[in-house]
Amino acid sequence: MVSLAATLLAYAALLATASPVAQRRAVTELDEAATKEAHPRDDTATRAFSNVQILTADGKCLFVDKLSGDFRANLTPIQVGDCAINDSQGWDVITSGKHNDQANTMLLVSTLTQACFNFDPRRKAGDQVNLFSCGGRAAGEGLVTDSQLFALDPGAGPSTFQPRNAKGKCFAVRGGVVDVTDCDANDKAQSFAFGGPATGGSGGGGNNGGNNGGNNNNGTDNSGNVPVVTIAPGTTSTTATASPAATTSPATGNGNGNGNGNGNGNGNGNGNGNGNGNGRIPAVNPTTPVPVSRAGGTLNPTAAAEANAFDSTATRAFTKAAISAPDGRCLSVDPTAGDFRQNLIPVALAECDGTANQQWDMVSKGKHNDGKDNGMLVVSSLMNGCVSTDGRRTDGDTVTVFSCGGRAAGEGQTNAGQLVRVFGDSFLWSPVNDEATCVVPGDQGRLVTAACKGDGSETYKIVV
């Protein structure tokens, strides 16, 4: 007669081979010295995101139990559970550093343990995906390994994690943990998204002086709040080649106050003006002198065209898309609500109507986006100006449309105050040069900046 114990053991073995499941805790405590040696934080690394949640298609979050592996916190399974503000659910995305020397790739690193997503096909099925010392050596002496590198593509579409050492294989949720399987675009278990901060964000200061400063953002640790992300290694974005009609009316303007914008960021413009006082908002870009709300008083179409030239070299992930704010209204611009160059135009919120005032391009690379920060420009399709954040301006007037590149006359290049990380069609709006600050709907019917809450009130959706 088969004993009850033998029956239970056989049943347990059957379950273990049927599908991957979260492991029981393998150790009761860590060897702290060995763990520290195996998982030192790379302070030289460039982090696209720090301490953010990774969400599954059904709204769960990935997490790690640091006692579920060995004495060094290696071989810990990547588990799936309900989302919570918890340090076990924090993840860093490293695009370059000691353990990543490959362009357009990323490491996925536990903020808690500093171990990397790892795929090892030599291990038994169901236990091939885990967290392991970055660099692939148990004691931390490794440098770079393909088993921990994943494609980085700031395009739109569903997200997949494909390890570079296994072509055609994708990570997927299976039985409460992350496992690996053949890539299938229709398998929602293979879709992931980067979400909000896991523990409220650490809030690092930006290195750029503001929205009309030069591109002096040399910081590498962009910690804190980040956009919700969906990334697709197989997605390609389109490059626009046709430019809009030029605005070349010869009128002359005389306004002052649009600072010279060096690397430290010098001030621009005057006043808070929220409206143009002209009644009906024009749905076309004016090509003749018309009254404007801010400096100069009258639009200079020639100066405006120079300041807001269409970038025909740019890569656009989205073109003429609407952007829906957290309250359901759409971002809208009045081309006469700024100064004589069409700078400092408030970004208004209005009922969605599909007009040209509510159309936006998302530029992932071009003259005013060098791509180094993995961010995108939010560009008015109507006027070609960029949404900019500038914390030096008065409260309620920190978010405006300004010349892309952050220089009033259009001579700027890349400006971090105009970049936001948008890897899909939904994102938490936080400029890359001030990750503790988010763009939110204000009380006056326009966008403003405020401290990030991480509660969904800063999340925007791109509607095409």
> Model confidence over 43-63: pLDDT tens digits?
999 887 788 889 898 889 999
Q: Which of 16, 4, 95 is nearest to 48 (CA)?
A: 95
Same domain, 136 and 266: no
> Please, which pLDDT band fits residue 214 given cuts at 50, 70 and 90?
very low
Same domain, 407 and 261: yes
SS3 68: coil
Same domain, 146 and 249: no
Residue 326 belongs to domain spanning: 240-464
Alpha-carbon distance of 212 to 415, in angstroms, equals: 7
Alpha-carbon distance of 220 to 194, in angstroms, equals: 19
In a domain, 184, yes or no: yes
Same domain, 391 and 457: yes
User: Looking at the predicted structure, is the pLDDT value of residue 258 above 60?
Assistant: no
In a domain, 271, yes or no: yes
pLDDT of residue 67: 94
Same domain, 353 and 404: yes
Q: What is the pLDDT of residues 90-120, one digit of tens each?
A: 999 898 999 999 988 999 999 999 999 999 9
In a domain, 454, yes or no: yes
User: Looking at the predicted structure, is the pLDDT value of residue 416 above 80?
Assistant: yes
What CATH number did the domain enclosing 372 receive?
Answer: 2.80.10.50
Alpha-carbon distance of 265 to 263, in angstroms, equals: 5
For the CA atoms of the chain, what is the radius of gyration? Answer: 25
Same domain, 176 and 305: no
In a domain, 335, yes or no: yes
Same domain, 81 and 188: yes
The better pLDDT of the pair 264, 282 is held by: 282
Same domain, 180 and 265: no
Segment 125-147 shows an average pLDDT of 95
In a domain, 2, yes or no: no
User: What count of Cα atoms within 13 Å lies in the side-chain half-sphere of residue 31?
Assistant: 9
**Phi, psi at 382, each rounded to 5°:** -75, -45
Same domain, 180 and 280: no
pLDDT of residue 154: 52
Which of 146, 169, 197 delimits the end of a domain?
Answer: 197
Distance set, CA 212 to CA 65, 337, 361, 397, 401 (Å): 45, 19, 20, 14, 11
In a domain, 28, yes or no: yes
Q: What's the mean pLDDT when you consider all of the chain? A: 78
Q: What does the CA dihedral 349, 351, 357, 360 come to, rounded to 10 degrees?
A: 70
Q: Taking the complete model, does pTM exceed 0.75, yes or no?
A: no
Segment 407-434 shows an average pLDDT of 87
In a domain, 202, yes or no: no
Which of 163, 197, 231 delimits the end of a domain?
Answer: 197
Query: By the 8 A CB rule, do 340 and 299 touch?
Result: yes
Segment 441-455 shows an average pLDDT of 90
Which of 197, 217, 248 delimits the end of a domain?
Answer: 197
For 369-416, list the strands marked E by DSSP: 376-380, 386-389, 399-402
pLDDT of residue 428: 87
> Please, which pLDDT band fits residue 153 given cuts at 50, 70 and 90?
low
Same domain, 178 and 252: no
In a domain, 76, yes or no: yes
Query: By the 8 A CB rule, do 412 and 405 touch?
Result: yes
User: Looking at the predicted structure, is the pLDDT value of residue 156 above 80?
Assistant: no
Same domain, 131 and 39: yes
Contacts 24+ apart (CB under 8 A), 438-441: 438/225, 439/387, 439/389, 439/399, 440/326, 441/325, 441/326, 441/327, 441/329, 441/349
Min mean pLDDT across 9-23, 251-265, 285-299, 392-406 is at: 251-265
User: Looking at the predicted structure, is the pLDDT value of residue 271 above 90?
Assistant: no
State the total domains in the chain.
2
Same domain, 181 and 249: no
